[in-house]
Amino acid sequence: MSGAPEDRAGAPPHSRWKRFFVLTAKVGGVLAVFRVGIYWYLLWREWTGTQSLSTLPLILLLYPEGALVPSGARATVAWAVVITAGLVLGSMLLVTPFTAPLSFSERD
């Protein structure tokens, strides 16, 4: 068998959990950076008054967290920080079903 002991199927359970959290943080972090960047770009378009229907595909990438924002929410810095935190947490939760099978599988 090649690779580090953490990569083996017979690895102790704590190393599998470590592999799960590291993989989730990496993949979720990349997704979060992507989604937060889209959100701040859309927010900048809102603040400058240049929003248009051409950004609709970008808006759809912010769901399901975007559906949780109240309809009366204003585009303020405070709301932007709250929504950014929600996007980061949501991105981590979105990748969990995909990283768990890769981390806890019984084969190499």
Count of domains forming the chain: 1
Q: Is residue 106 part of a domain?
A: no
Establish whether the linkage from the previous residue to 64 is cis, with ω within 30° of 0.
Answer: yes
Contacts of 39 (CB under 8 A, 6+ apart): 62, 80, 83, 84, 87
List per-residue pLDDT tens for the chain, 108 residues long. 455 545 555 556 678 888 899 999 999 999 999 999 999 999 999 999 998 999 989 989 999 888 888 888 888 999 999 999 999 999 999 999 998 888 887 654
Question: Does residue 8 form part of some domain?
Answer: no
Residue 3 located in a structural domain = no
Query: Using an 8 Å Cβ cutoff, are 36 and 65 in contact?
Result: no
**68: containing domain:** 13-95
